[in-house]
Amino acid sequence: MDAIILQILNGLDKGSAYALIALGLTLIFGTLGVVNFAHGAIFMLGAFTAVTLDRLLNMSFVTIDPTRTNFLGQPLEVKTPYIVSWFGDSIGNGIIDWAVPLSILFSIPIMLFIGYAMERGIIKHFYHRPHADQILVTFGLAIVLQEIVKAFFGANPIPTPAPAAFRGSFDFGVWLGFPANAIIYPYWRMIYFLFSAIVISGVFAFLRFTTFGMVVRAGMADRETVGLLGIDIDKRFTIMFGIAAAVAGLAGVMYAPINSPNYHMGMDFLVLSFVVVVVGGMGSLPGAVLAGFLLGVLESFASMNEIKSILPGIDQIIIYLIAIIILLTRPRGLMGRKGVMED
C-alpha cells in the first residue's frame, strides 16, 4: 500500500510538469490554432532564468589570498559575491540560497516578453499556413533556442538547489497513519505539486472570472463573431501566448531543483506534453490538466517492479499505448469538443 501511495505522489509530481506544459500548449492551440513545438524550449528557458538569477546573485569580485594556493601552486583567488559584501554574510547568503523562489518573480516578465516576442516576431506569420509548416518553424525555433542556451551555459547539467529549508525529505506516511519511514517524500516535489495546482487554478480563474478571460473564451469558441463585435481579438490572443509562455516558464523555474537544468530538458518533455494534449483533447484546458495528472500517475505505476515483472518494458510505452487507445476509440480526446479531430 505504501508503495502505491508513493507512486501516486510521484505520478502527481510528474503530472504537474506535464499539466503545466500541456496547459500552455493547448491554450495556444485553442486561441491561435498553432501547434507550438517550441513550447518545450520555453519550459527549458524558464529553468534557465533560475540558473541566470542564481549566477547574477553570485556575481563576485576577486581578492587574492596569498596564504592559500590554487591547483597550479599560485596564490588563490577568492571570490566574494557582491551581495554578501553589501548585506553581510547571513542576509547575503540567505538571498543567494533563495534564488529559485526569487526566480518566480524574475521569470514572469521575462517569459511574458519572450512569448510576446516569439508570437509577434515569428509565429504570427504562420497562422494561415498548414500545421506542417507551423510544426517545422516552431521545431526549428526550439533547436535555435537550445543551441543559444548551450552556447552560454554549456552542455552539462547545472545544479540549481532549492533553499536549504526545503532540501531533503519528510515522512509523509506518518501523516496518513503509516509507521515511520514507510513513505518518505522530498519537500520540493510536494511544493512543486502545490505550486502547479495554484498556477493552474490561477489560469482557470483568470479565464473564468475576468472580462479579458471571457473575451478570450468567446474568441476560442467563435473568433469571427467576436471580431465582428469590434473587439481586437488578435491582440488578446497574443497576450494569451505570453501567458502560456509564462506558465511553461514557471513550470521550468520550479523544476530546476528537481533535476539540474540542461539545454535539452525541453525536448524531453515536449513529446510527452503533446501526447497529454491529444489524450486530453486538443484545445480543451481541463482535458490537458486531467490528462497530465492521469498520464503522470499511470507512468509511475508502470515503472513499479511488480507491474514490470508481468509486463516487461511497459514503463517505456504506457503513455503511447494510452494515446493509441484514445485515438482509436475517442479521437477528440477525453474532454475534447465534439467534432475536433474527428472529421
Print the binding letters for residues 35-74 with another protein: x by CB under 8 A, - otherwise: ---------------------------------x-xxx--
Q: Which of 2, 124, 206, 223 binds another protein (CB under 8 A)?
A: 2
Residue 125 interacting with another protein (CB under 8 A): no
Q: How far is the CB of 315 from another protein (least distance, A)?
A: 8
Distance separating alpha carbons of residues 49 and 30, to the nearest angstrom:
27
Distance separating alpha carbons of residues 24 and 245, to the nearest angstrom:
7
Q: Which of 158, 190, 327, 341 binds another protein (CB under 8 A)?
A: 158
* Of 161 and 213, CB closest to another protein: 161
Q: Which of 94, 101, 161, 213 binds another protein (CB under 8 A)?
A: 161
* Of 225 and 316, CB closest to another protein: 316
| Interface stretch with another protein, choices 84-92, 101-109, 185-193, 329-337 (CB under 8 A) | 185-193
Distance separating alpha carbons of residues 307 and 221, to the nearest angstrom:
42
| Interface stretch with another protein, choices 49-57, 113-121, 165-173, 201-209 (CB under 8 A) | 165-173
| Alpha-carbon 19 to chain mean position | 8
DSSP assigned state of 185? E
Integer CA distances (angstroms), 215 to 63, 76, 210, 232, 286, in order: 58, 62, 9, 10, 18
Distance separating alpha carbons of residues 121 and 116, to the nearest angstrom:
8
Question: Residues 232 to 291: which contact another protein by CB under 8 A?
Answer: 258-260, 262, 264-265, 268
For residue 66, report the phi and psi dihedrals to the nearest 5 degrees: -70, -15
Distance separating alpha carbons of residues 237 and 188, to the nearest angstrom:
33
| Interface stretch with another protein, choices 20-28, 88-96, 152-160, 213-221 (CB under 8 A) | 152-160
Question: Residues 309 to 338: which contact another protein by CB under 8 A?
Answer: 315-316
Residue 186 interacting with another protein (CB under 8 A): yes
Residue 150 interacting with another protein (CB under 8 A): yes
* Of 155 and 214, CB closest to another protein: 155
Residue 181 interacting with another protein (CB under 8 A): yes
Integer CA distances (angstroms), 177 to 35, 119, 226, 304, in order: 46, 50, 54, 23
Q: Which of 75, 88, 140, 154 binds another protein (CB under 8 A)?
A: 154
Residue 196 interacting with another protein (CB under 8 A): no
* Buried/exposed code over 167-203 (b: 16+ C-beta within 10 A; e: otherwise): eeeeebbeeeeeeeebbebbbbbbbbbebbeebbeeb
Distance separating alpha carbons of residues 173 and 160, to the nearest angstrom:
28
Q: How far is the CB of 159 from another protein (least distance, A)?
A: 3
Residue 6 interacting with another protein (CB under 8 A): yes
The beta strands (E) that lie in 46-150 are given as: 60-69, 75-81
Cell of 8: 501516486
* Run of H or E residues at 184: strand 184-186
DSSP letters along 200-252, please? Answer: HHHHHHHHHHSHHHHHHHHHHH-HHHHHHTT--HHHHHHHHHHHHHHHHHHHH
Number of residues that bind another protein (CB under 8 A): 45
Binding residues (CB under 8 A) for another protein: these are 2-3, 6-7, 10-11, 13-14, 68, 70-72, 76, 150, 154-159, 161, 167-169, 181-182, 184-186, 188-189, 258-260, 262, 264-265, 268, 299-300, 303-305, 315-316
